[in-house]
Amino acid sequence: MSTCSPPSPSSPLRSQAVASRPRNRTRLALGAINVLGGVAVLASYTQGLATGPANREAIWGGIPDELRGFYTVSMLLAAAGYLLLSHYAYFHLAVQRARVYGIPAVRLLLPLYFAVLVPSALWLPLTLQMLSAPTAPFWSLVCLNLAVVAIASLGLLFVVAAAEPRGSRAAHRLAVLGGVAFCFQTAVLDAVVWTFSFPA
């Protein structure tokens, strides 16, 4: 009667299993950052917008009424774009050991996601605090917060666009287009238009 023995340390099966562990841990970390960070962002917006109509109006800053509809559409497109970009990052770049000029893509993705999500969760509380007690340091902190998100967003787009090997052409194009929509919101409308339109 034959017996099944565990694979030897030098067997291909064992080598593949050992090699997959870091990738699994990295994917787990990437997923955790997105889930926990996403919940934190949504919670901060829910709590902040529930504080009253006066605050909901104030956080528009100097954005005129005629541009707010465009802003709203852009925010929805940015959210959809973020999901497309993150789906590609999680299910392709983290699985296929993609690299950006020799650097593992996941090694870049983790700090970039952190730099997008943590400041995004802090933006509305900081802005409401600044509105309730306006000071130059607090305004600088709000602007710095938006600048960090903008730079990290552009970094995410760069990693997704440049990493090799790529997924299917369609998936890669959708991810890049999603990243462009996301960066237009964070790097143009938020970090530049909103900031420079805010009443002095």
pLDDT tens for each residue of 44-102: 988 877 876 777 888 898 899 999 999 999 999 999 999 999 999 988 887 777 899 99
Q: Structural domain tally of the chain? A: 1
Are the C-beta atoms of 156 and 175 separated by less than 8 Å? Answer: no
99 φ/ψ angles, rounded to the nearest 5 degrees: -130, 150
In a domain, 58, yes or no: yes
- pTM of the prediction? 0.84
Mean pLDDT within 117-123 = 96
Please give the residue range of the domain that contains residue 109.
41-197
C-alpha torsion sign, points 47, 45, 152, 168: positive
Q: Is 135 left (phi over 0), alpha (psi -120 to 50) or beta?
A: beta
- In total, the chain counts a number of residues equal to 200
Q: Which pLDDT score, from 0 to 100, does residue 181 have?
A: 98
In a domain, 162, yes or no: yes
Report helix, strand or coil for 7: coil
In a domain, 102, yes or no: yes
Residue 145 confidence class, pLDDT cut points 50, 70, 90:
very high
